[in-house]
Amino acid sequence: MDIYTVFLVLAVGAGFMMAFNLGANDVANSMASSVGSKAITVKQAVMIAGVLNFVGAVFLGAHVTKTISKGIINADMITDPRVMMVGMFAALLSAALWVLVATLTSLPVSSTHSIVGSILGFGIVAGGPEVVNWGSMGFVVLSWIISPLFGAGIAFFVFSHIRRFILYRTKIIEKARFWAPFWIALTADLVVLSFFYKTPVGKSLNLHWSVALGLTAVLTVAVWTGFRVLFTRTLPKDADGPEAVEDMFRRLQVGTACYVAVSQGANDVANAIGPVAAIYLIARERTLLASAEVPLWLLVIGGLGIALGIAVLGHKVMATVGEKITKLTNTRGFSVEFGAATTVLMASNLGMPVSSTHAAVGSIVGVGLARGFGAVDFRVLYKIVLYWVLTVPIAAITSIVIFQLLRWSFL
């Protein structure tokens, strides 16, 4: 068995481990607000996320992906394909180990930033500091600040609006009939735009921005009109009080949770499978490629890993994010999901490497602060932010150690 075959087998194992950790940490984090607000139970979250992430990964996943550098290093400066193969394996293993440590301590971290830090580490050792795209690293650091602040601000505004114009009014159901379709239509707006600009299938349609916006606007008006009629006809006239409004938003959260699961499977599987695809092609072609077609069997392995991860360890991160930072209700949970989704969509379209983990946690802090500083547990928040700051350096150092040991042993 030659070195290429050995590292291909090892990389498939490491890719499955990374996918497992994606499910246990990133995916669990995204489902946490629905679980914390009691829109769905932990078992339902595991079922929804497990099945729909697998579907998203296999059928909507990135069949062609940038496999080499994620824009962090200049792959052309590392000419030996064996060095690149060993380095990508070291980066994958390092990122998987760090996300596993974070999951076992019940803290949410960004798998994207773990991979970025790991690639940075082996890139510096293999090609020197000049191989690193420090401008891209600057954007990563900037996103640590911008994405949670954006998420917090939007979620704060949405929940404050719901509270002021629905929950604090005397005729709550009447106000909910008027405003709830507005927020549902905006959510549909986000879902459609996310589909067009965030999923591989949506991007492959290659629609002009004016066509995409036109289709989104038509659908938004249709959704608003439909739910306005539905609520007017079906909501019992004698129903009133905050419980009825919370139940209305609970049903909406089930839909958003399903969408999050599908889109996350489609997008995040590349974090685990992209480096494996790079190693697969190096092993087959004996050369470096900047992008590659991902074989279906690798997407299946990624989907299975994500599903298994949230089933086995997902409850740890869900408990921290959904219950320990602040108390969530359905209207607050909806505000969190709206804030996080809007932040990810806006930042991604601006070309920033935003983390869905950071946006979700920032949004939860935002709805907490809408009720005052006393509603947020800043001790839990401090631990989470500490892990965010440590992610890139720890992943980088671990990657360097693994890479050097493998280089001395095999190259």
Domain ranges of the chain: 3-410
Provide mean pLDDT across the span 360-388.
Answer: 92
With a cut of 70, say whether residue 147 has pLDDT above it: yes
With a cut of 80, say whether residue 90 has pLDDT above it: yes
With a cut of 60, say whether residue 213 has pLDDT above it: yes
Q: Give the pLDDT band of residue 399 (cuts 50, 70, 90).
A: very high
Q: Give the pLDDT band of residue 278 (cuts 50, 70, 90).
A: confident
Highest-confidence range of 35-39, 189-193, 287-291, 397-401, by mean pLDDT? 397-401
The whole-number pLDDT of residue 56 equals 75
Q: Please provide the average confidence, as pLDDT, over all residues in the chain.
A: 83
- Digit-coded pLDDT (tens) for 222-258: 988 988 888 777 766 655 677 878 887 887 788 777 7
Q: Within a 10 A sphere around the Cβ of 359, how many other Cβ atoms?
A: 32
Least confident of 73-87, 151-165, 196-210: 196-210
Please measure the distance between the N-terminal and C-terminal CA atoms of the chain and give it in whole angstroms: 15
Percent of the chain with pLDDT over 90: 24
Least confident of 9-23, 167-181, 192-206: 192-206
The whole-number pLDDT of residue 194 equals 74
Burial-class residue 290 by CB neighbours within 10 Å (0-12, 13-18, 19+): exposed
3-state secondary structure of 9: helix
Q: Which residue has the tokens 């505004």?
A: 157
The whole-number pLDDT of residue 121 equals 92
CB of 27 closer than 8 Å to CB of 53: yes
The whole-number pLDDT of residue 322 equals 87
Least confident of 64-68, 158-162, 168-172, 391-395: 64-68
The alpha carbon of residue 148 and the mean position of all alpha carbons in its chain are separated, in whole angstroms, by 13
d(CA 346, CA 343): 5
With a cut of 90, say whether residue 384 has pLDDT above it: yes
- Digit-coded pLDDT (tens) for 307-342: 899 899 999 998 898 889 999 898 998 898 888 888
Q: Give the pLDDT band of residue 182 (cuts 50, 70, 90).
A: confident
Least confident of 32-36, 174-178, 344-348: 344-348
Task: Name which of 89, 101, 140, 91 is nearest 21 in CA terms.
Answer: 101
CB of 66 closer than 8 Å to CB of 355: no
Least confident of 95-104, 118-127, 209-218, 266-275: 266-275
The whole-number pLDDT of residue 105 equals 93
CB of 336 closer than 8 Å to CB of 35: no
Percent of the chain with pLDDT over 70: 91
- Residue with the larger pLDDT of the pair 18 and 74: 18
- Digit-coded pLDDT (tens) for 47-75: 888 888 788 777 766 655 554 455 677 77
Is the C-alpha dihedral spanning 44, 49, 50, 55 positive or negative? Answer: positive
With a cut of 70, say whether residue 296 has pLDDT above it: yes
The alpha carbon of residue 241 and the mean position of all alpha carbons in its chain are separated, in whole angstroms, by 35
Provide mean pLDDT across the span 391-408.
Answer: 94
